Amino acid sequence: MTIEEIQNEIVDEFSMFEDWEERYQYMIDLGKTLPLIEEQYKTEDHIIKGCQSKVWVHAEMNDEKVQFTADSDAIITKGVIAILIRVFSNQHPDDIIKANTDFIDEIGLKEHLSPTRANGLVSMIKQLKMYAIAYQTQLN
């Protein structure tokens, strides 16, 4: 699936819920399905700066596609990073770099997060794209 197709799928899934309490519960459930980072990568080098909670992300390149794993010490944040990894993992670096993240506004995520969590969301997206830029440089 393309990044846009995955984003549309997420928008459809979130539209099934009537209120934000249900959406938060769904994000918590998504966090439980997150491809977890190996303990060896739970280091300062892998922490996303700018997040209120601790969020670790690791990226690897396989068959010219970036694969992400992550973890967080907070359940909502774990759900947020799970959504982002679902969108960006197993995609070509160039597609990750060029991808827009309008789907976040479409599902209303940013407006329903505290200001510090919203800043963390922006930091997570930046970090995932930075990994993609690093891998794209290796491909060229």
CATH number of the domain that residue 115 is part of: 3.90.1010.10
Q: Per residue in 53-82, pLDDT tens?
A: 899 999 999 999 999 999 999 999 999 999
Q: Per residue in 101-126, pLDDT tens?
A: 999 999 999 888 888 888 899 999 99
Q: What's the pLDDT at 36?
A: 82
Using the predicted structure, report yes or no on whether residue 14 has a pLDDT greater than 90: yes
Q: What's the pLDDT at 39?
A: 94
Q: Is 51 a known active-site residue?
A: yes
Q: Give the range of the structural domain holding residue 85, as residue numbers without chain letter.
A: 3-139
Q: What's the pLDDT at 10?
A: 97
Q: What's the pLDDT at 131?
A: 97
Residue of 3, 10, 27, 51 with catalytic role? 51
Structural domain count of the chain: 1
Using the predicted structure, report yes or no on whether residue 140 has a pLDDT greater than 80: no
Q: Are 132 and 139 in contact (CB under 8 A)?
A: no
Q: Per residue in 37-55, pLDDT tens?
A: 999 999 999 999 887 889 9
**Does the pTM exceed 0.85?**
yes
Alpha-carbon torsion angle 90, 91, 92, 98, nearest 10? -150
Q: What's the pLDDT at 117?
A: 84
CB within 8 A of 3, min separation 6: which ones?
A: 87, 88, 91, 95, 96, 99
Q: What's the pLDDT at 94?
A: 96
Using the predicted structure, report yes or no on whether residue 22 has a pLDDT greater than 90: yes
